[in-house]
Each structure stands twice: as structure tokens, then as C-alpha cells.
Amino acid sequence: MKSRNWIIGLLLAVALILGAVASVIIYVDPYFHYHGPQANLYYELNNERSQNDGIIRHFKYDGMIIGTSMAENFKTSEAEELWGTDFIKVTFAGGTYKEQNDNIAKAIKYNPDLRTVIRSLDYAYLMDGADKVRDDLGDYPEYLYDENPFNDVNYIFNKDIFYKICLPMLDDARHGKPAGITSFDDYANWMEGKEFGPEAALIGRTEYKEPAQKQPFVDEVKEMVKANITQNVTDLAKANPDVDFYYYITPYSVAWWGSQKELGVMERWFAVEQYAIELMLEYDNIHLYSFNNEFDITTNLDNYNDECHHGDWINSQILGWLYSGTDQLTKDNYKDYIAVEKDFYTTFDYEGLLK
């Protein structure tokens, strides 16, 4: 009898402890799984894969900025000043077209007020498979993304979240730290400590070789592009005509183009891009841009941290261009855009970058 009472007492104690842990995590909710920020706490935004889903579900906004690391340096304050509406930024470093599109679809589902989506379309991902996800970047915390309440035990009984996040947040509040949340201008911004310029952009390159062979735009590649763009870009625009999608093809540096020429895939890229543009221009609510022909940007390696990633001053410029309509692609001008782009990057003196 004593043993039985002891076991019951132990179980009750464990239940009370677990209940207390769960209650704290649910109340604080650092990943916004159940609600938005508590008015008396300060929230650090520092985990895209864990926090973006909750931001999408529970924050108030009319516009969103989404994309890869190419979009992480956008400032929502600048977008809000231009568009005159509330923005969130929910970027996913390395996120594929599918990952981004799935989260835009979720935002539309949970927020009927969403009217403006700003999204980077990474040039290098145009030929990806339609269902590709970046498993190499770590697992998504699926228990935060799905609708299954039972696997929430992975969240509400997580000792790291309890001890390393929730308790310090409550302690900060007790000591008078002002409530609030990391600015979306600062969230995911990777500028601090980064170096820009030819040495960074050329990453030790000493020469550009002639390609061993050139890769054509074959039917198999065309079908991959069609599947990727249709499933992960245009279908959502077709289903949501009241949402304006400001999409732009990311302006990589001229050094990236030199690498593609060396690999023998430059001509294929131009054909892939043209085909993708044609697919997207079928929808009036997709406002499509490319800044690859802003040669003052792409040829100035002081703008780049590597072959692809530009500084935040370029993100600010891009927002202004998106709003003003600069470099917008249309059915009337996209072929001229491709012709100018192709002529410039196929004839550029890449060896001159190394002098």
C-alpha cells in the first residue's frame, strides 16, 4: 500500500512539474506557436525555421517579405514607408522555391488581409525540382508547422526552450527589461562582420577557363523549370488574384556569370530564365522584375560578399525599384531584356576582374 501511494505521489509530482513547464512555455511561447508576443516580455527573433511559422500565423500584417539569404537584409520599415502598410519579414536562408511558396500559401490561409508579397526568386534555383527542400540545412521542427496537437509535446516539454529561452525572458521582465520584439529590419540581417569587395567575391579565383563543353537547354530541363515555376510560383498567383506578388530575379555579381561561363551552362541559363519569365508573365498580379542588367551593380564587386550575396544597400535600392516599376519585365520588353543580358555577360572580359 505504501509503495502504491509512493508511486501515485511520484506520478502526481511528475505531472505537476511537467504541467508547470508546459504552462510556462505556452504562456511565453517564444516561437509564437499558440499566440503572438506577450505585452510584458521581450522576444528575440533569431530562429527562422522555428519562429517564421508562428509569425505568419499570429502577427498582424498586410504585406510580407520572403526569400532566401538574398532577401534577409531587407528592412520592413522601408517597405512600409513605400507601400504604406504593415510588413513582416519571414525569410528562409537557403529556402527553395517550394519552401517559400508553402509559407506564402500559409500566410494567405491564415491572414485574409494579406495583399502584398515581396519575394526574391534566386536565379540559381530556377532549375530545381518542384519538390526540392533543403534537408541539408537541418530538420524543420514539423511539430510547429503541422496541425497535430499531440506532437506539441516536443515543444511544450522542451527543456532547452524552458531553461535557455523562457526562464531568461521571464527573468528579464522581472528586472525591468522593456517589452518588445526584435525589429524586422534586424531579424536575420547578416551584414555585421561581413567583408565586401573583389577578394570576397572572387573567393581566391586566379583564372577563368574556357568550358570543356556547353550544356544545352534540353526538354528534360524545360519540364523541370515548368514544374518548379508552375507549382511554386504561378499556381498561387492564379488562385489569389487579389494579392499582388512583387517577384524579382536575384542580381548575382558578374563573377557568378564568369563561373557559369566556365562551367558551360551560361547559354542554358539564358534559355531557362526566358522560359520562366514567359510562364510568370501570364498572370497580371505577378509584378516581375530583374536587375541583372543594372550593370553598375553587378560589375561592382564592392557590392558583394561572395559571387551572389550583395550588401543591404542593394536591398534598399531594390525595394525602391520594385515600388517605382524600374526594371519591370513585361510581355513587350522581356525579349529585349534577355538580348541585352545575354550580349553583356557572354562578351564580358572576365579575366579583367582578376587584374
Output the domain CATH number for residue 259. Answer: 3.40.50.1110
Q: What is the pTM of this model?
A: 0.94
Amino acid (one-letter) located at 149: P
Q: Which residue has the cell 579575366?
A: 351
> Does some domain include residue 20?
no
Buried b (16+ CB within 10 A) or exposed e, 205-222: beebeeeeeeeebeeebe
The domain in which residue 273 lies consists of 61-143+184-354
- CA 126 – CA 271 distance, rounded (Å): 11
Q: Which is nearest to 54 in space by CA: 188, 143, 144?
A: 144
> Does some domain include residue 14?
no
pLDDT at position 19: 75
Number of independent structural domains in the chain: 1
- CA 20 – CA 80 distance, rounded (Å): 40
DSSP string, 208-262: -PPPSSPPP--HHHHHHHHHHHIIIIIHHHHH-TTSEEEEEE----HHHHHHHHH
> Does some domain include residue 244?
yes
> Does some domain include residue 115?
yes
pLDDT tens-digit profile, the chain (355 residues): 566 665 555 556 556 666 778 999 999 999 999 999 999 999 999 999 999 999 999 999 999 999 999 999 999 999 999 999 999 999 999 999 999 999 999 999 999 999 999 999 999 999 999 999 987 777 778 899 988 999 999 999 999 999 999 999 999 999 999 999 999 999 999 999 999 999 999 988 999 999 989 999 999 999 999 999 999 999 999 999 999 999 999 999 999 999 999 999 999 999 999 999 999 999 999 999 999 999 999 999 999 999 999 999 999 999 999 999 999 999 999 999 999 999 999 999 999 999 8
> Does some domain include residue 47?
no
pLDDT at position 3: 67
23, three cell numbers: 504552462
> Does some domain include residue 188?
yes
> Does some domain include residue 312?
yes
Q: What is the DSSP letter of 164?
A: I
